[in-house]
Amino acid sequence: MVLVRFSKDHEYIRVEGDIGTVGITKHAAEQLGDVVHVEFPDIGRQVKQGEIAAIVESVKAAGDVFAPVSGEVIEVNGDLPASPALVNEDAEGKAWIFKIRMTNKADLDTLMDAAAYRAFIAANT
């Protein structure tokens, strides 16, 4: 079963087992505008929930990507360096940023499901 959760910082995590695939939401990509560069975390890096793990740069601004859960970075999206515009085209699909092996599944309890995230956006825009 795949579980998807969202953070108030506009990251998503798609969880299968103890592995989470992390990226920025479609909403975040729309706010950033045309993405021109993604700075990845190092593979093997231990991150804590809420810590800056990556950076997405657009023609308008740079946005921090926070780790939605604690764990070890195990993979980064090799397609993004050559095609950062994928973030604008498919933020919540092909344009994932990194994969993390979670060390504390309870972190997921602090995140929102899709309905709560949509309500959060509506209340804050």
Residue 57 near residue 87, CB atoms below 8 Å: no
The answer to whether residue 21 is domain-embedded is: yes
**78 is a domain residue:** yes
- State pLDDT tens for residues 2-13: 899 999 999 999
Q: What is the pLDDT of residue 125?
A: 80
Print the domain residue range for 89.
3-117
pLDDT of residue 102: 98
Residue 125 domain flag: no
Q: How far apart are CA 14 and CA 5, in angstroms?
A: 7
Q: Residue 69 falls within a domain, yes or no?
A: yes
Instruction: Report the domain count for the chain.
Output: 1
Residue 93 lies in a domain: yes
Q: How do residues 19-54 score in pLDDT, each as one tens digit?
A: 999 999 999 999 999 999 999 999 999 999 999 999
**Per-residue confidence (pLDDT) for residue 55, from 0 to 100:** 97
Residue 64 covered by a domain: yes
The torsion angles phi and psi of 77, rounded to 5 degrees, stand at -80, 105
Residue 1 has pLDDT above 90, yes or no: no
Q: Does residue 122 sit within a domain?
A: no
Model pLDDT, residue 57: 97
Q: Is residue 105 part of a domain?
A: yes
Q: What is the pLDDT of residues 63-91, one digit of tens each?
A: 999 999 999 999 999 999 999 999 999 99
Residues sharing a CB contact under 8 Å with residue 21, sequence separation 6 or more, in sequence order? 13, 14, 15, 96, 98, 99
What is the predicted pLDDT for the residue at 46?
A: 98
**What CATH number corresponds to the domain at position 19?**
2.40.50.100
Averaged pLDDT for residues 81-108 = 97
